[in-house]
Structure 1
Amino acid sequence: MDSEDIASLCTSLTISNCNGPVQLLDGKLMDDAIHRMSLCMVGKILLSKRVNREAFIRVIGKIWQVNKGVNIESVTGNTFTFHFKDVHDLNRVVSEGPWSFDNALIAMERRVGKGTIESLNFNHEDFWVQIHQVPLLCMTREIRGFLGGLIGQVLDVDGGASGDCVGKFMRVRVQVDIKKPLKRCLRVDILGDGSKTVIVLRYERLSNHCFKCGMVNHTTTECPENELNPIVNGKEKPPFGFWLRASGRGDQ
């Protein structure tokens, strides 16, 4: 009988069978636990095979280079907890993501409530998304926020001192639903005249993804989809590809 079965059994017992009344956790202990959990992230490496846990802990610790340290613990499978010692280190790691290991995305989540691992879905990840082929008329902060909202929940927008975009593309920080295929483009009627403008999306720090269905939780060879790729000019052309990976911000 595993721990979940035991907990379920205990829940169904009467108070007398549970060896006394319900006990209230001491307030100071709770405050300490809440503070500790506020510095904790949980990450899941979206890879079908089990990673080398020791190698992951060693490599990710070096990549992040946090100032005051982080304790990394293996939970189950490819899921790990990251206990930071400083909130600035945690915020920097989150803001510089997404992160990957062995070319697979590390989906990160904060614990909520009591913080059970089972309650985490790893459904979302934050990306800087580059929005290309945007007409000059739309190079404003407000329109950038509107377009970002078509991709996901907008967390931040990037622009010059005026707030307007002055480069060859826009950048928005978006919380992306990774349980759905990546969006490749946006189709927008800008002037309300029925004319469609196609705006291309590219994702910064994008790890391996499926070229057939656009999901980030498996590679093309692992895709369960049976549909054949479309044929363009006599050649097989998958709907997704490396072109979804954006160059860095410095290339703007």
Structure 2
Amino acid sequence: MGSLNRLRSAHQADIKGKGILYEDDDAPIKLVDRDDSFVIKEFGLALIGKILNPKKQNVEKLLQTMPSQWGLSERITASDLGNGKFLLNFMTEEDLNSVLRRGPFHYNFCMFVLVRWEPIVHDDYPWIIPFWVQLIGFPLHLWTDANLRNIGGRIGHVDTLELTEGRMLIDVDSRRPLKFSRKVEYEGDEVTIEIKYDKLFKHCTTCGLLSHEKGYCPNVDVRSRLQHVERPVFSRLQQNQDVSRQNWGRDALANTRATQQSSLQSRGIQSSQYYTSKPLRSDDMSTLGQAARYWEDDSSRGRHSDRIIRSRDDHSRRSRYGGARGAGPYARPSEKI
């Protein structure tokens, strides 16, 4: 009975955390292997991948985009494994091989790893990218199987060698910087050969890594990196400001010309009215007390000279006030003798 109570108290202590030992808490937890046949059957038709540039790539968007580009969106089951890794399960071997033949792979113009799944436990797994590599500037008389494999072994693991085509399929470690040139020596003479990677997209041209671009390279000075990133933005803003200033100056010049033209036109109209108009007659009693008015020349009234001639020969006008112009209402009376 006492032993049963001790077991119960120990169990309660474990539940409350009083019986946990923290001395070896940081030690790795050992995992138990299971039947390999079951694992191979479950993941035998799977590809495992990993993005290399987290600043430019997103796993969720990649899994939504790539199966559609391959035309297998209905026959692929995708899973996000976290830490930039993902798993693609296929229904047939033909679909899996058709995707592998499309490599190397890129998303958002940055490379990502995609290989056949293997039971490997490592933080960096997977990291191998198969690249078809060509050597440019290599002496033709030294183009042998041994020499090519010797050079390819310095780049990565040579998987396939096509001697007639002059290229090699090399498994490249994406954690290491890419090499784009190497020096080779033959009988004391050196020559520099260029290494060309087929279907290589964005990478750092300074250090050769695939995990970032030149603007984010840790080997570049901070000031140079900021200039590399911000200078295009500043130049675009400055260019837009210059364009807006040019447009503003062009519009201001056009408005000034339009204003001057309208001013000249208005002056021309006023001057034409000034020379084609006549002053108001002084004997028109209905306009007394009003401002001076002008009217345009009316052809029905006749010209000014015609009116003068007619008024000079108009005898009825003379006899209107006693037969003489001087005998008008404002004429002085003649003195009696």
TM-score normalised per structure 1: 0.66
Confirm or deny that 1:171 pairs with 2:177: no
Give the superposition deviation at 1:224.
0.8
> What do you get for the CA RMSD once the two structures are aligned?
3.1
Structure having the higher Rg: 2
Q: Distance in 1 between matches of 2:97 and 2:157?
A: 18
Give the superposition deviation at 1:157.
1.6
Q: Distance in 2 between matches of 1:48 and 1:225?
A: 18
- Out of 149, 153, 158, the residue aligned to residue 149 of structure 1 is 153
Counterpart residue number, 1:18: none
Give the superposition deviation at 1:54.
4.6
- Residues 228-252 of structure 1: CA deviation (Å, up to 9, x unaligned): 9xxxxxxxxxxxxxxxxxxxxxxxx
Q: Distance in 2 between matches of 1:140 and 1:24?
A: 45
Note closer, same or farther for the CA distance 1:67–1:133 as it changes in structure 2 (3 Å cut). farther
Counterpart residue number, 1:105: 111
Give the superposition deviation at 1:66.
4.7
- Residues 79-101 of structure 1: CA deviation (Å, up to 9, x unaligned): 21111222233233224311011
- Out of 138, 141, 155, the residue aligned to residue 137 of structure 1 is 141
Q: Distance in 1 between matches of 2:124 and 2:43?
A: 14
Q: Distance in 1 between matches of 2:67 and 2:87?
A: 12
Note closer, same or farther for the CA distance 1:123–1:56 as it changes in structure 2 (3 Å cut). closer
Bigger CA drift: 32-41 or 99-108?
Answer: 32-41
Give the superposition deviation at 1:216.
0.6
Higher strand share: 1
How many residue pairs match? The answer is 195
Note closer, same or farther for the CA distance 1:134–1:68 as it changes in structure 2 (3 Å cut). farther
Note closer, same or farther for the CA distance 1:24–1:80 as it changes in structure 2 (3 Å cut). closer
Give the superposition deviation at 1:220.
1.0
Q: Distance in 2 between matches of 1:31 and 1:57?
A: 28
- Seq. identity, %: 26
Note closer, same or farther for the CA distance 1:158–1:221 as it changes in structure 2 (3 Å cut). same
Q: Is the 8 A contact 2:105 2:111 kept in 1?
A: yes
Query: For 1:79-94, what aligned pairs fall within 5 Å after superposition?
Result: 79-94=85-100
Q: Is the 8 A contact 1:70 1:82 kept in 2?
A: yes
Note closer, same or farther for the CA distance 1:52–1:177 as it changes in structure 2 (3 Å cut). closer
Note closer, same or farther for the CA distance 1:208–1:85 as it changes in structure 2 (3 Å cut). same
Confirm or deny that 1:128 pairs with 2:132: yes
Confirm or deny that 1:185 pairs with 2:181: yes
Counterpart residue number, 1:74: 80
Q: Is the 8 A contact 2:204 2:210 kept in 1?
A: yes
Counterpart residue number, 2:43: 37
Q: Distance in 2 between matches of 1:31 and 1:123?
A: 25
TM-score normalised per structure 2: 0.51
- Residues 11-44 of structure 1: CA deviation (Å, up to 9, x unaligned): x89xxxxxxxxx996x6xx634312222212111
* Equivalent position amino acid for 1:209 in 2: H
